[in-house]
Amino acid sequence: MGTFSQQKNKKHFILGLLFAGWLLSYLDRMVMGVAVVAISQDFQLDPASIGVVLSSFFAGYALMQIPGGWLSDKYGSRRIVIFSIIAWSIFTVLSGLAWSLTSLLIIRFLFGLGEGGYPSASQKAIAEFYSKKERAKASSFMMSSNSFGIALAPLIAAPMLVWLGWRWMFVAIGAAGLIMGVLFWKHLHPPKKSEWDDSERVSKTKVPLKTLLKSPSLWKIMIMWFGADIVVWGLAGWMPSYLIKERGMGILSTGVLASLPAIASGLTVMFGGVLLEKFFSGREKYFTGVGMILTSICLYFIFASSSVVGVITFYILSMTFVSTAIITTYSLPHKLLSKEIIGSAMGFINMGGQAAGFLAPLVMGFLISGFGTYNAAFWFLIAGAVVSVIAAFTIANNEKKFNTESSKAAGQ
């Protein structure tokens, strides 16, 4: 009994540590959305250049998703998690030392490469510590950190920007990451053999990655996540500037108000996993499809609203409804796939999301520069939401059909 209790406490502690790692990773990347206002003044950047800065991280991050997943499956979560945290923390510090637009772009690209292994490695850790029936809930809880990280970033970055300036802000946050790396080195030791391993091998045949990538459902989940992340990263990258420049808000008030939608999203993901499991198991496509329809409607009313209250209200609702895609993306694969392949599969899926993270700020920057208004940029976000809706409604979200697809692919 005591041993079981210790194992339970251990895996929950690791889940909390993985949650904290995700929180820090989002803080490190999201502070740029606030800092770029000051950086643009120092480096004389126009909106298109700001978009390039915001997207440079995602170029490296997206490129590392599939290699990071493969490395996680090959070497386990521990090595990749620790390497990723140390690497991204070093480049966070270096972001504060940038001396030109070119140096900043290179540093942020390398920062993205460094952080790119963490998503798949953290999902691999979930599979290493939790039984298959527990993984969807554990993953949903862990991924709620993404939204909380988006919420935390402006709350921390805005005061630090005022008190320390953008350079020392990056140095301080990077130092915190190095401390986090030490904690993972000390505590993250996956079990060599888990009590559910044998039963899982009997019930699930390992599917090679090349076969897995021929599955239409895996591609549809990736496209669904791509469309949803167009919305997430478009809003995260440009809403602070929109609130300051178009709605006349100050930096500190923007930091507070911009955190509310992300907090709502985080709570939705944290508790939505339980809701999904209880009421929508086997019907995840409808859970996400309807959620993304509501997201597209709310996006329209963000820029159509005449008051700041209306803008913030529909911003909160947009982030709440887009969270349905976050929940499904990071819980459904754990139901469909064995732990031996989960790192590679999640790396592939997340590549779509991070490609959106690269594309969204960049395209929005050019649209704002070209049209002289944010309206066209919001229509681009609505288009992303529609793509997610279409993909969601076509997913084969039950294990039997997914395995049939994989078998057909293997026979090709």
Distances (CA, A) of 187 to 13, 15, 90, 183, 286: 9, 11, 21, 6, 39
What pLDDT, on a 0 to 100 scale, did the predictor assign at position 384? 95
What pLDDT, on a 0 to 100 scale, did the predictor assign at position 202? 40
CA-CA-CA-CA torsion sign (410, 199, 133, 194): negative
Share of the chain above pLDDT 70, in %: 87
Taking Cα atoms as reference points, which of 40, 253, 41, 228 lies closest to residue 143? 228
Quick one: pLDDT band at residue 6, thresholds 50, 70, 90?
Answer: low
Average pLDDT, stretch 347-353? 83
Quick one: pLDDT band at residue 208, thresholds 50, 70, 90?
Answer: low
**Look-up: residue for tokens 């499809």?**
289
Distance in angstroms (rounded) separating the CA atoms of residues 22 and 149: 7
Rg (CA), the chain: 20
Distance in angstroms (rounded) separating the CA atoms of residues 412 and 69: 25
Average pLDDT, stretch 143-161? 78
* DSSP code for 372: S
Q: Tell whether the model's pLDDT for residue 211 goes beyond 70.
A: no
299-344 tens-digit pLDDT? 999 999 988 889 899 999 999 999 888 888 877 777 777 667 777 7
- Chain-centroid distance of CA 127 in Å reads 18
Average pLDDT, stretch 30-43? 81
Taking Cα atoms as reference points, which of 357, 290, 412 lies closest to residue 62? 357
Average pLDDT, stretch 120-142? 83
Distance in angstroms (rounded) separating the CA atoms of residues 11 and 130: 7
Tokens of 185: 């080195």
Quick one: pLDDT band at residue 26, thresholds 50, 70, 90?
Answer: confident
Q: Which domains does the chain have, with CATH numbers?
A: 9-187+203-411 (1.20.1250.20)
What pLDDT, on a 0 to 100 scale, did the predictor assign at position 198? 44
358-411 tens-digit pLDDT? 888 889 988 988 888 889 999 999 999 999 999 988 886 554 555 555 545 444
Contact 53, 101 (CB under 8 A): yes
What pLDDT, on a 0 to 100 scale, did the predictor assign at position 353? 82
Taking Cα atoms as reference points, which of 171, 146, 103, 306 lies closest to residue 233? 146
Alpha helices by DSSP H, listed for 188-307, are: 197-203, 209-212, 216-245, 251-257, 259-279, 284-304
What pLDDT, on a 0 to 100 scale, did the predictor assign at position 338? 67
Share of the chain above pLDDT 90, in %: 25
Q: Tell whether the model's pLDDT for residue 127 goes beyond 90.
A: no
Average pLDDT, stretch 221-243? 88
Q: At what angle do helices 47-63 and 2-43 cross, to 10 degrees?
A: 150
Quick one: pLDDT band at residue 38, thresholds 50, 70, 90?
Answer: confident
